[in-house]
A and B are shown apart, each in its own frame.
Chain A
């Protein structure tokens, strides 16, 4: 069974700074997806960024980028130039190819301080 671990329950950072959220996972599969989802206080889960395991290049989406280390089974999220709207719970998630089930980590509550 796959597991996803987020070791930072809470983090806070000053506005405009850079913050990195950690995630590790465990799987015996070779083809899978990894995701970071954001859940603001309004509660709708929003996809931040995704990474296909077969791609060596790290995914980036504007201010969001990942550091994907497949051998180490690590998938961290870097948020650059953080903004107040980045305040949210961030969940790391895993999904096998051909399977719609997402396995989530326990989440990191990120607070951006003005």
Chain B
């Protein structure tokens, strides 16, 4: 079974631009969560989607948004990029309903904002 796939793996943007990151969960997983990882703030929860609905949201400004499609694939978007948005963005999927408690992570998308 394929794992969680994130694209692109690396990208460089300049301040003010916007970026879209993609996440394909493990087949059959319906919940997708996004996390931001930085050296200063550690791992912080961005949001979680289940059946195309956002169920949870972390404390991030409105420039951070996401969505989930009917096939459970998810995208997150960051608009008006700032230098502080440079981070590793991790996606995780899980089987909600079975509630095994386990999240499976992708390798992440490394965003650098110049």
Residues of A within 8 A of B (CB): 33, 35, 37, 42-47, 50, 52, 91, 95, 97-107
Contacts and interface: CB of A to CB of B under 8 A. Distances in A.
Given A44-B105, A44-B107, A50-B101, A100 B42 contact: no
Nearest to A6: B42
B56 interface: yes
Given A43-B108, A47-B102, A101 B88 contact: no
Contacts of A106: 42
Contacts of B22: none
Contact of A100 (B55, B88, B106, B107): B55
Q: Which A-B residue pairs are the 4 nearest by beta carbons?
A: A45-B105, A104-B43, A33-B101, A100-B48
A100 B56 contact: yes
A42 B3 CA distance: 15
A100 B105 contact: no
A46 B105 CA distance: 7
Contact of A101 (B56, B104, B106, B108): B56
A100 B94 contact: yes
A45 B56 CA distance: 21
